[in-house]
Amino acid sequence: MAWLLTGAALDSAHSQDFETPPIRQASELLDQAWLQSAVHSVEPEVTADTMLYRFVVHSEYGNFEVYGIDFLKMRVKEIQAAATLDKKLLAGSAAKGVVTEGVDSAKTIAGAARNPVQTVFNIPKGIAAFGKRAVTSTENKVKESGNYEGGAITDWFQVSEEKLKLASKLQVDPYTDNEELSKQLSRKSGSSALGGISLRLLVPGDGLITAADEGKAAEKIEDAYLTPPTKLFEQNRKMLLEMGVSEERASAFLANTVHSPADQALIIRAAKGIEGLEKVETLLDAADMTANRVQTIYFRRNVEILRHRSDQGNPIKRFANFRGYPVGITADGTLMLPAYLDFAYWGQRGPVFVKDIKDFAKEQGAGTVEILLTGAISEKANEKLTAAGIKVVKL
């Protein structure tokens, strides 16, 4: 949701009607365990220049930027999981010093570009011209039978059940785009030596996770991260067909290598949980405009926000595609715009956003606009949106 309130680079000191990105201390936002360990550190100052807080992280595996509190937690878990499997966080072991040279010259763990997340407020107006993400590589096409062949999709299918279980113990995504962690998971999954190793994650709220914890997580058959990818593929295909998606469109969506089978499952399950939903293919069109795994996760969480709001008494009737961004339209004509953000403020692009979203609502036959906000919002931003007839719903 950064496009509504950001435009931070355009803000000027004399534009008193607009706000500049707030600067915060990381220690005000997160417990210390997320900010410092033997294998990572987070720079103390953060800004919300995209309405997701920007963190600079130094680690054993390189330096990189992360946008969003939840995404920082995800990356810290990945760093610690990789270090644990690499025996850098084992009891009694000495970890090397964390590298702290400039982030601009350091390689990123995920190999992602700066600021990979496009929230609803920083989506360029012309992005829709790019259309759906093309799946044109011969390695990634779907056979007529609906099976995949070659390329990255083959790699998804090669994720073993042992790797799924090990990732679950470490509370990380088995399909992670963290190359170091992915290598360690593949190398150590199924290892007979692993049973004698004490695996430790040092972040709060996760407790002490050991290799002996075979238990409860592995019993969750329906957990998308524990279901073998070949089985997920069949489940995902079946659910899409049950929702009225054509065989051809379902195959094209499932062939998009940006989404892991688990990403696809969670997006589809969130949509399927909305009774009587129409135009599911519109949601798939929007999903196929994501460019990387981080954007896919961000997209999925916004779909889950729509599902949550729909369950609260005003069910979504159909999806609409706002520049590659999922929005819901209810039977009573409310346009619901999910905003998975840390902090929303009023930047110079605010008036443009208000006009664009209200014009889009009119095109969709919606008379009311709701912004479903997960984070905080400035007083000015709330006042401006309310004055424009846009309702802010805090979740």
Is residue 85 domain-resident?
yes
Q: What pLDDT is attached to residue 168?
A: 86
Q: Is 335 helix (H, G, I), strand (E, B) or coil?
A: strand
Q: What pLDDT is attached to residue 140?
A: 37
Report d(CA 173, CA 170) in Å as an integer.
9
Both tokens assigned to 92: 């009694």
* β strands within the chain, DSSP E: 23-25, 36-37, 40-42, 45-47, 54-59, 62-67, 316-322, 325-330, 334-339, 343-344, 368-373, 376-377, 390-394
Report d(CA 211, CA 335) in Å as an integer.
47
Quick check: pTM over 0.85? no
Q: What pLDDT is attached to residue 323?
A: 83
Is residue 270 domain-resident?
no
Is residue 275 domain-resident?
no
Is residue 287 domain-resident?
no
Those residues of the chain that have pLDDT short of 50 are 1, 3, 6-15, 91-97, 99-116, 122-151, 192-193, 196-198, 204-222
Domain count, the chain: 1
Q: What is the pLDDT of residues 243-289, one digit of tens each?
A: 999 999 999 999 998 899 999 999 999 999 998 898 899 999 999 99
Q: What pLDDT is attached to residue 148?
A: 36
Percent of the chain with pLDDT over 70: 71
User: Residue 194's CB: how many other CB atoms inside 10 A?
Assistant: 15
Q: What pLDDT is attached to residue 16?
A: 58
Is residue 73 domain-resident?
yes
Is residue 8 domain-resident?
yes
Is residue 90 domain-resident?
yes
Is residue 259 domain-resident?
no
Q: Domain range for residue 16?
A: 2-130
